[in-house]
């Protein structure tokens, strides 16, 4: 079975631009969460979606938004990119909630 | 405000010996804890978990101990193998104000030398 997939793998953007990151969960998983991992830190929770509804939001500005589609895939959008948005963005899926979440390989975003 | 703390950034051990990774937490509302392992260029992989109703959970070479009074947990790997070399994260789910989130520590880099 395929694991969690994310695209693209790497991305370079300029300050002020907008970016969309994509995630496909493990088949049968209805919950998708997004995390930001800055170098030297642990992943920071951004969003959780379950059955296409937002279930949780971390302490991130409104420039960050997300959605989940009927097939449970998800997109994370970041507007007006800042240098500080450079990070590894991780997507995780699970059957329910946060227990035993399965992570994708991440998208490395670099903002110049 | 670091609610889950991994105060040692790295640990180096010899193959075959025990690795002990520590984690402290400040939020008394945490009732479940997870350990994840992360290799470079890969996402974190779930390793083992423990509920607050237990003080120990074992899975093969991996054992997690929980000391609720000290708000401390530790992951023991015995025997350590070179393939265990990775970054290990301690994490806890938190429900707050109707929102659910997973809180991670900063991670600890484990190096197991052959």
At a CB cut-off of 8 Å and minimum separation 6, what does B100 contact? A48, A55, A56, A97, A98, B93, B94
The pLDDT of residue B94 is above 70: yes
The pLDDT of residue B100 is above 80: no
Shortest Cα distance from B66 to chain A (angstroms)?
17
d(CA B84, CA B66): 21
**Which CATH number belongs to the domain containing residue B106 in this structure?**
2.60.40.10
Report whether B52 contacts B66 (CB < 8 A).
yes
The pLDDT of residue B99 is above 90: no
Q: How many domains does chain B divide into?
A: 1
Q: What is the pLDDT of residues B54-65, one digit of tens each?
A: 999 999 999 999
What is the reported pLDDT for A50? 87
Domain A5-105 has CATH 1.10.1050.10: no
Q: What is the pLDDT of residues B20-35, one digit of tens each?
A: 999 999 988 899 999 9
Question: Is A100–B46 a contact, with Cβ atoms under 8 angstroms apart?
Answer: yes
The segments of chain A whose pLDDT lies below 70 read 1, 96-99
Mean pLDDT of chain A: 92
Report whether A20 contacts A60 (CB < 8 A).
no
Interchain CB contact of A55 with B (< 8 Å): yes
Annotated domain spans of chain A: 5-105
| Other C-beta atoms lying within 10 Å of the C-beta of residue A111 | 19
Task: Supply the range of the domain harboring residue B81.
Answer: 4-113
Residues of B in contact with A103 (CB under 8 A): 36, 43-45
d(CA A45, CA A56): 9
What is the reported pLDDT for B38? 94
Interchain CB contact of A90 with B (< 8 Å): yes
């Amino acid at each position: 079975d395929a694991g969690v997939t994310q695209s693209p793998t790497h991305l370079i953007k300029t300050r002020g631009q907008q970016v969309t990151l994509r995630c496909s969960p493990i088949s049968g998983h209805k919950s998708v969460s997004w995390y930001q991992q800055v170098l030297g830190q642990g992943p920071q929770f951004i969003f959780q979606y379950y059955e296409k509804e937002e279930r949780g939001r971390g302490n991130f500005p409104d420039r960050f938004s997300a959605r989940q589609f009927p097939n449970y895939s998800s997109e994370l959008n970041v507007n007006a990119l800042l240098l500080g948005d450079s990070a590894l963005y991780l997507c995780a899926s699970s059957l329910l909630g946060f227990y035993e979440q399965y992570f994708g390989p991440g998208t490395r975003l670099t903002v110049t | 405000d670091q609610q889950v703390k991994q105060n040692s950034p790295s640990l180096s051990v010899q193959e075959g010996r025990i690795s002990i990774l520590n984690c402290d937490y400040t939020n008394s509302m945490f009732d479940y804890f997870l350990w994840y392992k992360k290799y470079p260029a890969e996402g974190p992989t779930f390793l083992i978990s423990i509920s607050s109703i237990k003080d120990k959970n074992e899975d093969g070479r991996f054992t997690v101990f929980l000391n609720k009074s000290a708000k401390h947990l530790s992951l023991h790997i015995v025997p350590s193998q070179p393939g265990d070399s990775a970054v290990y994260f301690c994490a806890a789910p938190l429900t707050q104000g109707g929102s659910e989130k997973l809180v991670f520590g900063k991670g600890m880099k484990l190096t197991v030398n052959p």
